[in-house]
Structure 1
Amino acid sequence: MILDKVRIKQSFSAASLTYDSVAGLQRAVGRELLHAIDATRLNGTLLDLGCGTGFLTGELLAHSNHEAIIALDIALSMLQTTQGKMPDKCSVNYICADAEHLPLAGQSIDGVFSNLALQWCRNLDVVFTDIKRVLKPEGQLIFSTFGPQTLHELKSAWATVDSYNHVNAFYSAAQLKLFLQQAGFKNSQLKSKLFISPYDSVWMLMQELKYLGAQQVIAGRNKKMTTKTVMQQMISAYEKHKVSDQISATFEVINVIAKV
């Protein structure tokens, strides 16, 4: 699978105004990520990688003993939204950049945090190597990402009507651990958890994904417009599994703590 980075940037730029209205899962995962460590012991310069609209940035500001925080995102409008939430926080610096090409000096960061953002990177092995480059000795990488069981119901429903990729693929915990080892990280701790979210309809699920900027962004995807008939066939296949007039969508979240 090859992710289209131009479309990723466009999708998240367009979603900056709607993201917070549907980001309940992202906030819950972000809180769990910080609860997995003692945030009060965090100090020095911290990087929020793929900061989005700034939820985790704000949590780091409130609960860590930081000297400075860098909020980095590929979408300028996301950064502007983050900055608008904390205009008087002089300890926050904002960088519009791709997580796969960090414009940071080596050994300049004490801790890297990323909440449900690294799944949009093409080459995680390269990303982890670069993150290790910017981390100071004894620094740590703490992140969450989606696992392969994410949206398996939607993927299965699409598979009943055509053979195109309509749902992004995600790395497994074993693959993530291997990439981290290859990048030189030690003592990696990985924990997977399933979140099951109910929706009144498939349309509501797809609308939420659009508002999050998380619609399908695979390069080389089906260039033909999906017809109403094909879409309805997919929806019918999905809704065969309704329970109490609701569908369910699975989100597998993998939390990782890796030390240099």
Structure 2
Amino acid sequence: MSDPAVAVSPTSESELPDKRQVAASFSRAAASYDAVAELQRAVGNALIERLPAGLCPTRWLDLGSGTGYFSRALANRFPHADGVALDIAEGMLRHARPKGGATSFVAGDAERLPLRSTSLDLLFSSLALQWCEDFAAVLNEAERVLRPGGVFAFSSLCSGTLQELRDSWQAVDGFAHVNRFRSFEAYQEFCATSRLRCLVLDMRPSVLHFSELRQLTHELKALGAHNLNPGRPGGLTGRARIRALIEAYERFRTPSGLPATYRVVYGLLCKES
């Protein structure tokens, strides 16, 4: 069924290769994602709890909907609203569609939303926007598609995420093996200069612990969130380098295990009436 809020737009020939790599990586991870998405569920649930009391949208968008976990959560929270699940990864949409939740499932880019202007009351996005190179464009699109009084709620990752893994690799070979994210200060500047009113913007660290390093690297691969940096080293990583990485990471071990710190940004913005 077509969605009257969705305007079909052709794929741009200028789409960045890195963005296509992100889409392909997450498409491949669709089947394994939910089994290892503990942090993603915790962050998304925290974002839902931050939604304004009394918010009652007639139409919402789950931007970067992935396997549809939060599309279904939003459908349960707002049972009388129409919902759109949008993701750049076709594989994620194919995985999510049979499970329902949203009214429509749309392939699209957060920086060029294929939606009509003033068509949404809520734009929800959890742990997806860190992959967008042009966050100013994301904010401009949010302002365009929201109705007056509409809410843009997002969570994302900022620099310092997986710093333990980054520092350990730095000690081994100096290459960028860990995804880079914009700083929290950059989020502050973008939100302060957008046409949306910033209600909340803060950063909360979240630390996971693993008994062995391979558990962390397996989880990142299963999530589709392994190294996607431009210029990342190609080829297989030799055993000697892996042993050196394990030794370097062991310096961070605590009684709870090997820590992996995620620096999570939470934002709540509103379009002026």
| Structure 1 length-normalised TM | 0.92
Structure-1 residue corresponding to 2:112 = 101
**Shift, 1:133, TM fit:** 1.2
Whether 2:148 is the aligned partner of 1:134: answer no
1:250 Cα deviation from its structure 2 partner:
0.6
CA distance in structure 2 between the partners assigned to 1:13 and 1:65 by the alignment:
28
Is the counterpart of residue 190 in structure 1 residue 204 in structure 2? no
The 5 Å alignment of 1:7-26 reads: 7-26=21-40
TM-score normalised by structure 2 residue count: 0.88
Counterpart of 1:171 in structure 2: which amino acid? R
Q: Of 219, 227, 239, which residue of structure 2 is paired with 1:216?
A: 227
Secondary structure (helix, strand or coil) at the match of 1:205 reads: helix
Task: Specify every segment of 5 or more residues in structure 1 that has no aligned partner in the other structure, as ranges.
Answer: none
Work out whether 1:44 is the aligned partner of 2:55: no
Alignment partner, residue 74 of structure 2: 60
Q: Does structure 2 retain, via aligned residues, the 8 Å contact 1:40–1:64? A: no
Q: Which letter maps to 1:218? A: N
Residue 176 (structure 1) aligned to one of 184, 187, 192: 187
The CA deviation string for residues 140-197 of structure 1, in whole angstroms up to 9 with x for no partner, is 1101011222101001101101222111122233211211233311134112111111
Instruction: Identify the range of structure 1 (163-172 vs 55-64) with the bigger mean alpha-carbon deviation.
Output: 163-172
Aligned runs of 1:26-41 on 2, under 5 Å?
Answer: 26-38=40-52, 41=55
Q: Which runs of 5+ in 2 are unaligned?
A: 1-15
CA distance in 1, matches of 2:98, 2:140: 32
Say yes or no: does 1:122 pair with 2:133: yes
Please give the secondary structure, in 1, of the residue aligned with 2:66.
Answer: coil
Farther-moved stretch of structure 1 (39-48 vs 27-36): 39-48
Instruction: Measure the CA separation in 2 of the matches of 1:246 and 1:33.
Output: 27
What code does the residue aligned with 1:174 have? E
SS of the equivalent of 2:172 reads coil
Question: 1:156: which partner in 2?
Answer: 167
Question: CA offsets, 1:85-123, max 9 Å, x none?
Answer: 12xx5x611101122221111111111000100001111
Instruction: Give the number of equivalent residue pairs.
Output: 256
Moved over 4 A (4+): none
Counterpart contact for 1:15–1:211, Cα < 8 Å: yes
1:66 offset after TM fit, Å?
A: 4.5
In the TM superposition, residue 131 of structure 1 has moved relative to its aligned partner by 1.6
Indicate conservation of the 8 Å contact 1:20/1:53, yes or no.
yes
Q: 1 CA distance for matches of 2:215 and 2:17?
A: 24
Cα contact 2:209–2:260 (8 A) shared by 1 = yes
Report the Cα distance in structure 1 between the residues aligned to 2:225 and 2:17, rounded to whole angstroms: 12
1:259 aligns with 2:259: no
Change (3 A) 1:173 1:188: farther
Q: Tell whether the 8 Å contact from 2:209 to 2:256 is kept in structure 1 after alignment.
A: no
User: What residue in structure 1 maps to residue 20 of structure 2?
Assistant: 6
Please report the RMSD computed on the Cα atoms of aligned residues, expressed in angstroms.
1.8
Shift of 1:245: 7.6
